[in-house]
C-alpha cells in the first residue's frame, strides 16, 4: 500500500474509532498557513484536534514517536487559528491517534492531551 493510501485508510479508521467512542466529527483535513489538522471533533463540550499517524512497521519507532517538537508547535498554531476563525473558547485539546498496520489487521492507540502545554 502506498503512503498516501495508508494515510487515507488510517484517517478513516481513526474517524470510525472516534465515532464509536461517542465523538462528533466536525471537520477533516482542515488546512491553514500553519499546517493541517487531520480531524476536528467534539468530545462533550470540548473541541478536539486530532493528529493521525500510521505505520506499517515499528522498525523506526511507534506512530506516537513520529511527532516531534516542530510538528507539535505547528499543531498548536493550526488549532489556535481554527479556534480564532470559528470563535471557539479555550476549551480545546490536541489528541493523537496512531494506527499500526500489522499481520493483516491494525492496532489503534488514542492519546488524549498528546501535545504538551494543552492540558
* pLDDT interval class at 105 (50, 70, 90): confident
DSSP 57-116: -STT--SGGG--HHHHHHHHHHHHHHHHHTT--S-EEEEEEEEEEETTEEEEEEETT-ST
Q: What is the pLDDT of residue 115?
A: 86
- Give residue limits of the domains in the chain: 3-111
pLDDT exceeds cutoff 60 at 63: no
Model-wide pTM > 0.85: yes
Q: Looking at domain 3-111, which of 3.40.1350.10, 3.40.1390.10, 3.40.1000.10, 2.30.29.30 is its CATH number?
A: 3.40.1350.10
User: In the chain, pLDDT over 90 holds for what percent of residues?
Assistant: 61
Considering the chain, what is the average pLDDT of its residues? 87
pLDDT, residue 65, reads 64
- pLDDT bin (cut points 50, 70, 90) of residue 38 is very high
Amino acid at each position: 500500500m502506498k503512503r498516501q493510501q495508508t494515510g487515507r485508510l488510517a484517517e478513516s479508521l481513526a474517524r470510525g474509532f472516534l465515532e464509536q467512542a461517542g465523538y462528533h466529527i466536525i471537520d477533516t483535513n482542515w488546512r491553514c498557513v500553519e499546517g493541517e489538522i487531520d480531524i476536528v471533533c467534539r468530545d462533550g463540550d470540548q473541541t478536539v484536534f486530532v493528529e493521525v499517524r500510521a505505520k506499517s512497521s515499528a522498525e523506526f519507532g511507534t506512530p506516537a514517536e513520529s511527532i516531534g517538537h516542530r510538528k507539535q508547535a505547528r499543531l498548536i498554531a493550526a488549532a489556535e487559528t481554527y479556534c480564532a476563525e470559528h470563535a471557539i473558547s479555550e476549551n480545546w485539546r490536541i489528541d493523537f491517534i496512531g494506527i499500526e498496520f500489522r499481520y493483516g489487521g491494525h492496532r489503534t492507540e488514542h492519546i488524549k492531551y498528546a501535545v504538551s502545554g494543552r492540558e
